[in-house]
Amino acid sequence: LLAERFGGRLDFLIYSVAAPRRTDPDTGNVYASVLKPIGSPYTTKTLVFDEYGAPEVKEVTTAPAEGDDIEQTVAVMGGTDWERWITFLADRSLLADGFATAALSYIGSPLTAAIYRQGTIGAAKSHLEATARTLDERLGKTLGGRAVTSVNAAAVTQSSTAIPGIALYVGLLRGVIGDAMVAPIGQLVELWDQLTGARPLDLDDEGRVRLDTWELDPAVQNAVAERWSTATSDTITELADLDWFSDEVRRLYGFSVPGFDYTAAVETDVPWPTLTI
């Protein structure tokens, strides 16, 4: 399809996966990812909403990884399929000279580190970043290309809000910095500018593009940590921007779009559009 519709060679490829399971196409083995801490149980505050939409701050405890949980999560969310894509495309001569690829990653706050960066998903992100270094060396030699991971900043997504503590953290983060919080599209415009050379590629010591520096600024993290320590069901509306958070969640499902009349009748029987090339 790439050769037929788009003239063949790719200049850029962005890899981003959030998935509960993966089937290895060579072996047929099915792997399942888990969100668990490593070593010991993890207890954290988390934000939930009751059936009437009222916010509650509760404590939840997540059991630690056991058995092959870490290996399973790495198999799903690590860099294996990213490397597979690059290999298959290269073998079919579908990568242009100077080809660049980026995989999206996350580090996050010390407040969520036990369940995220130091947990099973963090092990997968470390594997993804190691894959980037391998691919970068390979692409540099063969195509004069690049492979990097892009460490993006916090955002409200279906995946992130399923992780204990993340919804509370993001709401508090927004409460601290307001409109200075960079939306995902702004982060990805910055990534695109760096990949295309419109701006210099700004890498950390491990070869990662860092789009999260505003989030991990020590002053910001200290302010969020202070609010986190005093967050309860009684105080949360004063500490977090819950109106913004609720709108972000609704927008994931197509609601809270400015200027749209949700009371208007909608035609639901619409023919599937015909593909035009």
Rounded to whole angstroms, how far apart are CA atoms 52 and 206?
A: 46
- Mean pLDDT value across residues 83-89: 96
Mean pLDDT of 251-258: 89
CA 95 to chain centre: 25
228 in Cβ contact with 172 (< 8 Å): yes
- List beta partners, residue 22: 31
| Model pLDDT, residue 277 | 61
Q: Radius of gyration of the chain from Cα atoms? A: 21
Q: How confident is the model at residue 27 (pLDDT cuts 50, 70, 90)?
A: very high
Given CA atoms 220, 54, 161, 231 in this order, what sign does their dihedral have?
A: positive
Comparing CA positions, the residue from 215, 233, 232, 235 lying closest to residue 224 is 215
Query: Looking at residue 228, what is its pLDDT?
Result: 98
Q: How much is the pLDDT for 185?
A: 94
pTM (two decimals): 0.89
For residue 141, name the pLDDT band (cuts at 50, 70, 90). very high
The pLDDT tens digits of the residues spanning 13-25 come to 999 988 899 999 9
Please determine, for residue 263, whether its predicted confidence score (pLDDT) is greater than 80.
yes
Burial grade of 50 (CB within 10 A; 0-12, 13-18, 19 or more): exposed
Model confidence at 75, pLDDT cuts 50, 70, 90, reads very high
Where would I find the H helices in the chain? 2-6, 69-77, 80-91, 120-143, 166-177, 184-196, 218-230, 236-239, 242-252
Q: Is the pLDDT assigned to residue 53 strictly greater than 90?
A: no
Q: Are 105 and 79 in contact (CB under 8 A)?
A: no
Q: Which helix (H) or strand (E) holds 215?
A: none
Mean of pLDDT values over 209-227: 97
Taking only the tens place, the pLDDT of each residue in 178-199 is 999 999 999 999 999 999 999 9
Does pLDDT of 7 surpass 80?
Answer: no
Whether the pLDDT of residue 1 is over 80: the answer is yes
Distance between CA atoms of residues 36 and 119, nearest Å: 6
pLDDT value at 275 more than 90:
no
Task: Please report the domains of the chain, with CATH numbers, ordered by start residue.
Answer: 2-252 (3.40.50.720)
CB atoms within 10 A of CB 71: 14
Task: Give the pLDDT band of residue 231 (cuts 50, 70, 90).
Answer: very high
**Looking at this protein, which amino acid is placed at residue 65?**
A
Summarize the confidence of residues 54-58 as an average pLDDT.
Answer: 94
What's the confidence (pLDDT) of residue 90? 96
Tens digit of pLDDT for each residue in 108-122?
A: 999 999 999 999 999
User: Are the CB atoms for 33 and 19 separated by under 8 Å?
Assistant: yes
> Which residues are part of the catalytic machinery?
116
pLDDT at residue 5, rounded to an integer = 81
